[in-house]
Amino acid sequence: MSRSAHPAGPRHADVLPEGHYSAPPADLNALDPRVWPRTASRTTDGSVTVGGLDVKDLAEEFGTPLYVLDEADFRARCRAWRDAFGPDADVFYAGKAFLSRAVVRWLTEEGLNLDVCSGGELAVALAAGMPPERIALHGNNKSSAEIRQAVEAGVGRIVLDSFQEIVRVAHIAERLGRRQPVQIRVTVGVEAHTHEFIATAHEDQKFGLALAPGGGHPEAGGGQAAEAVRRVLKLDSLELTGIHSHIGSQIFDTSGFEVAAHRVVGLLEDIRDEHGLELPEIDLGGGLGIAYTSEDDPSEPHEIAVSLHEIVRRECRAAGLAVPRLSVEPGRAVVGPSACTVYETGTVKELPGLRTYVSVDGGMSDNVRTALYDAEYSVSLVSRASDAEPMLSRVVGKHCESGDIVVRDAFLPADLAPGDLLAVPATGAYCRSMANNYNHALRPPVVSVRDGEARVIVRRETEEDLLRLDVG
Q: Please tell me the distance from the alpha carbon of residue 36 to that of residue 289, in angstroms, as a whole number.
A: 15
E strand or H helix that includes residue 74: helix 71-85
Phi, psi of 410 (to 5 degrees): -155, 160
Q: Please tell me the distance from the alpha carbon of residue 95 to that of residue 430, in angstroms, as a whole number.
A: 10
Contact 275, 221 (CB under 8 A): no
Nearest to 264 by CA among 305, 308, 231: 308
Cα separation values, 90 from 259, 281, 466, Å? 21, 10, 40
Cα separation values, 213 from 180, 189, 224, 225, 261, Å? 28, 12, 7, 9, 18
Rg of the Cα atoms in the chain: 24
Q: Please tell me the distance from the alpha carbon of residue 332 to that of residue 179, in angstroms, as a whole number.
A: 32
Active-site residue, selected from the candidate residues 117, 340, 400, 431: 400
Contact 365, 439 (CB under 8 A): yes
Q: Please tell me the distance from the alpha carbon of residue 33 to that of residue 53, in angstroms, as a whole number.
A: 17
Beta pairing partners, 326 = 89, 282
All residues at 6 or more sequence positions from 71 whose CB lies less than 8 Å from its CB, including other chains? 51, 106, 448, 449, 450
Helix ranges (H only) for 206-328 are: 224-233, 255-275, 301-319
Q: Please tell me the distance from the alpha carbon of residue 99 to that of residue 121, in angstroms, as a whole number.
A: 7
Phi, psi of 164 (to 5 degrees): -60, -35
The reply to whether 400 belongs to the active site is yes
- Give me the active site residues, please: 400
